[in-house]
Amino acid sequence: REDGAGQITHLFEGNFPAAGYTRLPWYGAPEIYYALLAVCGPIFLLTPIAWAIRPVLLPATGARFAGLARWAAGAMCLANLLFLAGMLMVIARGRELLFGITPFARAVLVLPVVSAVLTASTLILALIALRRRYWSLRGRLHYLLVALAGAAFLGSLHYWNLLGLPF
């Protein structure tokens, strides 16, 4: 089926019209999400590790704001990692989903809501750090990268209807 501009929007199999396909937008392509996971996964994994090691190697500067900001971003990274690991476990036991959403799947689906709150606070703290010039330029850019990775990850969860409490 074509739209008014001549773009193909739907595909139907010849003798089986009940099976229809809808064209995905560019941001719905699986390659986009594979790339997003390839970028966000290491950021979510390595950032809390680096921040845990940093106080041992370097003296603390701006300790109160830095501690709050790193806690919020680290908790966001942890929530996102736990969600990814939990969803892998839910998918691995996919047969259980035939009978409804399991309690474990419900618990895993709460994590994006927690992550959304932490991502919002991380973005706000990133803007404050940029405006007031906390940390070095490299530190501010790294924190902004972590915040933007969290926002991009939440955007993908929203697209796949995994953000919110629909159950």
Does position 79 have pLDDT exceeding 90, yes or no? yes
Say if residue 146's pLDDT is above 70: yes
**Binning pLDDT at 50, 70 and 90, where does residue 59 land?**
low
Whole-number Å distance between alpha carbons of 108 and 152: 19
31-35, 60-64, 81-85, 89-93 — most confident range: 81-85
What's the confidence (pLDDT) of residue 77?
Answer: 96
Check residues 145 and 11 and name the one with the higher pLDDT.
Answer: 145
Q: Which residue has the higher pLDDT, 89 or 52?
A: 89
Please give the pLDDT value at position 126.
92
**pLDDT at residue 62 is higher than 60:** no
Instruction: Please provide the average confidence, as pLDDT, over all residues in the chain.
Output: 85
Q: pTM of this prediction?
A: 0.81
Residue 155 — pLDDT band, cuts 50, 70, 90? very high
pLDDT beyond 80 at 153: yes
Three-state SS string across the chain, please? CECCCCCECEEEECCEEEEEEECCCHHHCHHHHHHHHHHHHHHHHHHHHHHHHHHHHCCCCCHHHHHHHHHHHHHHHHHHHHHHHHHHHHHHCHHHHHHCCCHHHHHHHHHHHHHHHHHHHHHHHHHHHHHHCCCCHHHHHHHHHHHHHHHHHHHHHHHCCCCCCCC
